[in-house]
Structures are given as structure tokens and as C-alpha cells.
Amino acid sequence: MKMIKDKIAKLSFVGVLVGVTAAMFYAPTAAAHGEKSQAAFMRMRTIHWYDLNWSKDTVAVNDTMTVTGKFHVFKGWPETVDLPESSFLNIGTPGPVFIRAGSWIGGQLVPRSCSLELGETYEFKVLLKARRPGDWHVHSMMNVKGGGPIIGPGKWVTITGSMKDFKNPITTLTGVTVDLENYNIDNIYFWHAFWYAIGLAWMVYWMRKPIFIPRLIAVEAGKADTLITPTDKKVGIAFAVGTMAIVAATMASTNAAYPITTPLQAGLLRGMKPIEMPAPTVAVKVDDATYRVPGRAMQMTLTVTNNGDSAVRLGEFNTAGVRFLDPAVHEDETGYPDDLLAEEGLTVSDNSPLAPGQTRTYQVTASDAAWEVYRLADLIYDPDSRFAGLLFFTDESGNRQMVTVDAPLIPSFI
Amino acid sequence: MSASQSAVRSRAEAVKVSRTFDWLICFTLFFVVLGGYHVHFMLVAGDWDFWVDWKDRRLWVTVLPIMAITFPAAVQAVLWWRYRIAFGATLCVMGLLFGEWVNRYFNFWGWTYFPINFVFPSQLIPGAIVLDVILMMSGSMQLTAVLGGLAFGLLFYPSNWPVIAPLHQPVEYNGMVMTLADLTGYHYIRTGMPEYIRMVEKGTLRTFGKDVAPVSAFFSGFVSIIVYVLWHFFGRWFGSTAFTTAS
């Protein structure tokens, strides 16, 4: 029995050693942002990101890049998520690896939260300045108050150089140029060290004398009043008066040094300017939609009517940032992230041009591993099993028009 | 040696043991208070203390002293009534600031690279010293609550002003006016911290024009009085030895 115990102990020890050593030599980057964990219905039925472009794949420290594109605020916004009345255009990066040098919705700078309207489409731009070297996943992102972060597609961007070279110069309205990266740090350290030293002096004054046991005995013996000496009182007064005098003097000197200061700026920005989208000339009715679990494919029956004056073809289905394309109609040339692009993922029963005035029933299949990889298939476990997305039709001149779809989704397990 | 015999054999040895005990208790107390106070403070005042773009002249000034006077009141109750020691508040605040600086430097800067000028903690030591001195001079909980609590609230903003004033200088940025603090919060990306979470400049205190901070400080001082009384009793209750007294 003892031999078995010894053996188990030995093996456990070796196991722990192997584990610790492995952890020391192999520590892969944790780069996930949880984008795949977010409920599928939330990604499919709130903000639809499209026409996204990351201006660079590699950027040096201090250089800038942009993330641009459009987002459509879905009209069938789920009831379980608060409306986007207070929203913030964010950017999904692992901390401040970039600084956000600017962000705009419809040409308006949005350093603060803003109000968005359902059913509208907005153009956005985020200007990023590289700060910390590494490979980073950069996502578009919209935070919605009461709804949480709604994370859009992400792309890997490499920052080269050294963070020590990073500079962030800003000129104040008083004409002083400062580097925000390290401005005021010495002042912060000085004042904190100064007051800590004074606090320490007060503590040391008391701790140089016996503290706990003799004082407890004295208090319990009814001699508590003898424990505070006249010197203690004098020293105490000196500390209190000195503290208040220093606070008053430094307040006055600070006001003299910085005569112009303003309060923090806050408040909701309203009236964001949406894109003036032409009325769609293609009408789409979803007759039914099923998600076939074994085949990782969503099948839709659509009745499409072309009310325009040019024949159209269905080129793309976009949901939760995953793009299913029919390569015969549309090919991506923007360098969209591979994992979010199903270049041949869209199959249409008859995708010949739909002539003006014509109505046709389509059997559309959107299939790709992305359904699983991006956990969109989990939609069938959501409390409101509806899907939504954007259909892009292309006319004879190559113009695209966007049509939203929103319908119940029936899972098929066989 | 029987259980009833003393562990020390001379007065010199007793003094030595007593001093060793002092240092052990002070060291332990510092870190125990640091842990409890730090967790408490992060939970109830967290973002106001974490980020420079939360340090406004209304809610930061109001909330922080109210939430910060808690542990000092409780620890003062124990140290003063049992030992007549007058450094309870200072010990607490120094513990809190030590913990906060370790957190801000190693976690916020060392791990996630937020610059220190964005994440430095608020200054509380001047208020704590005055609180200690008032208790020592008066020996009265009521007077310490009224005068000390008020002073704790009133001293907070001016003792932080030398550090935050440079960051309240205005900037014109792409057609909008911001302070350097606002701009820092905007530049240094916080993915999990959307701007609308920021609780700054909210409220209806508009009658005094731009002089909001003194009114907020007075209000904070008044509420600190009540919180001090409450937590003082927590301290006395927590420090009770009624259940361990030998028969």
C-alpha cells in the first residue's frame, strides 16, 4: 500500500513539474475578444456592419490607419436589447495598443455617446494611431447602453517598432503643447510621494512609542486620559494645521499656474446624419428558412420581385459580419478577413438575371464552417429564434442594393 | 513552565516582546486593512478613482469621500477606544493608496499599458490626518464625526487639485472642446468601458454657475458625517471582545 502511495506521490510531483515547465515554455497569445461568445441573435439582429475596410495590415508605431465602413441599425431590433438611444462607437482592440485619434459617424466626430435611429444606415470612420508593437485583432464595435457591446468583424493588424518611440502631442487652447503619453506624470508622483511621506511621518510619530499591549493595559486600568500627552496634542495640531495650510497654499498656487481650466465634457450627441439610401427596388419576402445542423447550412425560400428598371442578381448574404458570396455575381476585392468570408458560400437555385417587373422564387443556401466557427448556429438555442441579415443584389451596371431580411428560423436536426 | 506562568522572565524581555508584537500587528493590520478597504473602494467608487476622465467636480467630489470615510471610521473606533492610538484613519488611507498604486502600476500600466496619468488614484491622506487629529484632540466620536467628517469631504477636492488641474486644460479637437482628461479617456481605448458609462457632470446642481465643486464638497462632507457615525459603530461592534472575555 505504501509503495502505491509513494508511486502516486512521485508521479504527481513529476506531473506538476511537467505542467509548470510546459506553462513556462509555451504560453500562446490570448487574443480572443469573445466575439464568438456573444448571443447569435444579438449579432444578427442589431447592428449590421458592411463595406468594412482596414486601410493597412501593417503599421509602424506613430503611424495611423483607418477602419471605415457602414453599419445598418436593424429595424427588427430584438426586444431583449435596449434601443440604441445611447450608443458609443468603440473599437475592439486588446487595450490601448492603438490610440483612437478620431472617430466619426456620418462625418460628425463622436468622442461621446450618440443616439442612433432604427432602420437607418450610417457611415463611420475610426482613425487609429499605432502605439504598442504586436499582432492585434482590430474589430469594429458599437456599445449600446442596456445592450452591451456589439462587436463587428475583426482583422489582424501588425504594429511594428518600439512603444518607447510613441508620441501623442496635443496643443491646448492656451497654446501649450504636451505629450499626453506622459504629461503630468512627474507632478502626480511628486504629490502622491509628498503626502505619503507626511502620512508616514504621522504614523512613525505614534509607532516610535509602545503601541498595543501597554496602551490596552492602561485603558483597561482607567488611565486612558494619560496616554495622550501635551506633546502629542502639540504635534497633532502641527500636523493638522500644516496639512490644511499646505492644501490651501497648493490650491492657490495651482490656480495661479493653471488659470484656465474647464470641467469635463459630457452629454449625448443627437442628430447623427444617416446615409440617404435610395428606396430599394427589389422586394424580398422570406417564405421559410431552416438551419440544417448536420450540413452547417441555412436554407431560405425567398420570393423576390424586381421593381426596378435593371435586371438584378443576388450576390451576397451578410449576417453577423459573415459574408456568403456567389462568386459568379460578386467577388470580394477588399481583403476582407478570410475567416469571415465564404467566397463560394452562397448557392441560389436560379441566379440568372431577374428582369424588371419579374417575380421569382429562390431557393438560397448559405453554407460554410463559419456557422459553427462563429457560433451562429447557436441561434437555434436563443430565446427568440429568428435570423436576420442583409441581401445584396447587383444590377447590370454593377450597382449594389441592400435589402434586409428578418424571419423565424426552423432548425433541422436530420 | 505551566500554562499560568508568564512567557517572559524580565521587564526588558516583556518590553521586547511587546514591541515585536507591535510591529507584527501593525504590519498585519496594514495589509488586512489594505485588502478589505481596497476591495470595498473598488466596488463602491471604482471607476471614479480609476480614470482621470471620471474625476469631475460633482460626483467624484461627492462620492469618493463618502465611500472613503468608512474604513477609517471603523478602524479609528477600534484603535482609539481600546488603545488611544490616533493614526487609524491615516493607516487605512495609506494602506488603500499603497494597494492602489501597486494595482495601477503593475496592472493598469504594466499589464495593459494605460498611462499612469490616466489611472492614478485620488489623494485622501490630508483628510485622514485631520480626521485623526480631531479625534485625538476631542476624544469625542460626535465631534470627530461632525468636524472630521466635514473636513474629510471639504479637503478632498483641494488636495487633489494640484494633480488634476493640469489635466483640465481645454483643448480644441476636431471642432469640439475637450479637456486633456477627456481626450486621454477618448484616445486610450477601453473596449469594455463605453463613454456612456461615465457618470460625470450629471445632476441638477446648476444654481451656482461654475462653482459646483465647493457645493459638492459640502454635501459630501455632510453625508460623510452620517457615514462616519455608522461605520464608527461597525468598528466598535467588530472590535468587541464581549464574546471572548474569560469568566
CATH at A54: 2.60.120.570
Predicted pLDDT at A294: 79
Residue of A229 and A386 predicted with greater confidence = A229
The domain in which residue A232 lies consists of: 179-257
Are A151 and A205 part of one and the same domain? no
Q: What is the distance in angstroms between the Cα of A121 and the nearest Cα belonging to chain B?
A: 21
Predicted pLDDT at A229: 93
Are A225 and A320 part of one and the same domain? no
Question: CA torsion, points B167, B170, B175, B176, in degrees to nearest 10?
Answer: 70
State the best of A247, A250, A269 to mutate against chain B, taking most chain B CBs within 10 Å.
Answer: A247
CB under 8 A, 24+ apart: contacts of A351-356: A351/A313, A351/A314, A351/A326, A352/A313, A353/A311, A353/A312, A353/A313, A353/A396, A354/A282, A354/A304, A354/A306, A354/A311, A354/A312, A354/A313, A355/A306, A355/A311, A356/A306, A356/A307, A356/A308, A356/A309, A356/A310, A356/A311
State the best of B51, B60, B85 to mutate against chain A, taking most chain A CBs within 10 Å.
Answer: B85
Please classify residue A41 by burial: count the beta carbons closer than 10 Å to its beta carbon, then call 0-12 exposed, 13-18 middle and 19+ buried: buried
Are A49 and A153 part of one and the same domain? yes
What ipTM goes with this model? 0.93
Predicted pLDDT at A370: 84
CA–CA dist A367, A346 (Å, integer): 7
Are A306 and A385 part of one and the same domain? yes
Q: How far is CA B67 from CA A94, B41, B154, in A?
A: 31, 7, 14
CATH for B11-238? Answer: 1.20.1450.10
Are A131 and A242 part of one and the same domain? no
Q: For residue range B100-153, what is the model confidence (pLDDT) as tens digits?
A: 999 999 999 999 999 999 999 999 999 999 999 999 999 999 999 999 999 999
Looking at A146, A167, A188, which one is the last position of a domain?
A167
Q: Is the pLDDT of residue A186 over 80?
A: yes
The percent of residues in chain B predicted with pLDDT above 90, rounded, is 75
Which of left, alpha, beta for A409 (phi over 0: left; psi -120 to 50: alpha)? beta
Predicted pLDDT at A79: 86
Predicted pLDDT at A91: 94
Cell of B14: 516583556
Interface of B with A in 168-207 (CB under 8 A): 168-184, 186-192, 194-196, 198, 200-202
Are A247 and A288 part of one and the same domain? no
Looking at A137, A167, A197, which one is the last position of a domain?
A167
Predicted pLDDT at B209: 66
Are A299 and A367 part of one and the same domain? yes
Residue with cell 487633489: B160
Secondary structure (3-state) at A163: helix
Q: How far is CA A168 from CA A100, B107, B116, in A?
A: 11, 22, 14
CA–CA dist A349, B217 (Å, integer): 71
Q: For residue range B2-38, what is the model confidence (pLDDT) as tens digits?
A: 556 777 788 888 889 999 999 999 999 999 999 999 9
CATH number of domain containing A221: 1.10.287.710
Is residue A10 situated within a structural domain? no
Predicted pLDDT at A233: 95
CA–CA dist A387, A74 (Å, integer): 12
Predicted pLDDT at A30: 58
Are A163 and A61 part of one and the same domain? yes
Residue B193 sits at the vertex; the CA angle it makes with B187 and B198, to the nearest 5 degrees, is 90
Are A162 and A195 part of one and the same domain? no
CA–CA dist A304, A314 (Å, integer): 10
Is residue A265 situated within a structural domain? no
Is residue A291 situated within a structural domain? yes
Interface of A with B in 230-269 (CB under 8 A): 232-233, 236-237, 239-240, 243-244, 246-248, 250-251, 253-255, 257-258, 260-268
Q: Is the pLDDT of residue A414 over 90?
A: no
Q: Which residues contact A125 (CB under 8 A, 6 or more apart)?
A: A66, A67, A68, A102, A103, A104
Smallest Cβ–Cβ distance between B186 and the set A100, A172, A202 belongs to A100
Q: For residue range B193-230, what is the model confidence (pLDDT) as tens digits?
A: 888 888 887 777 666 667 788 899 999 999 999 999 99
Q: How many CB pairs under 8 A join A and B?
A: 277
Do the chains contact at A263 and B84, CB–CB below 8 Å? Answer: no
Q: What is the distance in angstroms between the Cα of A364 and the nearest Cα belonging to chain B?
A: 37
CA–CA dist B213, A193 (Å, integer): 25
Secondary structure (3-state) at A175: coil
Q: Is the pLDDT of residue A373 over 80?
A: yes
Residues of chain B positioned with their CB less than 8 A from the CB of A210 = 15, 18-19, 22
Answer for the pair A68, A160: CB distance below 8 angstroms, yes or no: no
Work out the pLDDT band at A22, boundaries 50, 70, 90. confident
Residue of B50 and B7 predicted with greater confidence = B50
Predicted pLDDT at B2: 54
Q: Is the pLDDT of residue A130 over 70?
A: yes
Is residue A16 situated within a structural domain? no
CA–CA dist B56, B213 (Å, integer): 9
Q: Which residues contact A104 (CB under 8 A, 6 or more apart)?
A: A110, A124, A125, A126
Q: Is the pLDDT of residue A134 over 60?
A: yes
CA–CA dist B68, B90 (Å, integer): 12
The per-residue pLDDT of chain A, averaged, comes to 90
β-sheet with A58-60: strand ranges across: A58-60, A148-160, A134-144, A87-92
Do the chains contact at B133 and A236, CB–CB below 8 Å? Answer: yes
Is the CB of residue A196 less than 8 Å away from at least one CB of chain B?
yes
Q: Is the pLDDT of residue A332 over 90?
A: no
Residues of chain A positioned with their CB less than 8 A from the CB of B188 = 96, 99
Is residue A187 situated within a structural domain? yes
Q: Is the pLDDT of residue B247 over 60?
A: no
Phi (first) and psi of residue A116, to 5 degrees: -115, 150
Q: Is the pLDDT of residue A330 over 80?
A: yes
Work out the pLDDT band at A147, boundaries 50, 70, 90. confident
Predicted pLDDT at B212: 85
Answer for the pair A361, A287: CB distance below 8 angstroms, yes or no: yes
CA–CA dist A157, A297 (Å, integer): 30
Predicted pLDDT at A374: 83
Is the CB of residue B87 less than 8 Å away from at least one CB of chain A?
yes
Answer for the pair A326, A351: CB distance below 8 angstroms, yes or no: yes
Looking at A127, A144, A167, which one is the last position of a domain?
A167
CA–CA dist A129, A168 (Å, integer): 9
Interface of A with B in 109-168 (CB under 8 A): 109, 111-113, 131-132, 141, 143, 145, 149, 163, 168
Predicted pLDDT at B185: 94
Answer for the pair A304, A362: CB distance below 8 angstroms, yes or no: yes
The percent of residues in chain A predicted with pLDDT above 90, rounded, is 66
Residue of A383 and A95 predicted with greater confidence = A95
Smallest Cβ–Cβ distance between B165 and the set A87, A97, A258 belongs to A258
Q: What is the distance in angstroms between the Cα of B214 and the nearest Cα belonging to chain A?
A: 13
Predicted pLDDT at A82: 92
Predicted pLDDT at B241: 78
Residues of chain B positioned with their CB less than 8 A from the CB of A261 = 165, 168-170, 179
Lowest mean pLDDT among A125-139, A193-207, B11-25: B11-25
Is residue A173 situated within a structural domain? no
CA–CA dist A132, B114 (Å, integer): 11
Q: Pairing between strand A282-292 and A410-412?
A: parallel
Are A95 and A154 part of one and the same domain? yes
Radius of gyration of chain B (CA): 21
Answer for the pair B200, B59: CB distance below 8 angstroms, yes or no: yes
Is the CB of residue A401 less than 8 Å away from at least one CB of chain B?
no
Is residue A13 situated within a structural domain? no
Residue of A295 and B175 predicted with greater confidence = B175
Answer for the pair A125, A153: CB distance below 8 angstroms, yes or no: no
Are A55 and A148 part of one and the same domain? yes
Do the chains contact at B201 and A184, CB–CB below 8 Å? Answer: no
CATH number of domain containing A300: 2.60.40.1580
Q: Which residues contact B85 (CB under 8 A, 6 or more apart)?
A: A206, A211, A215, B79
- As for how many domains chain A has, the answer is 3
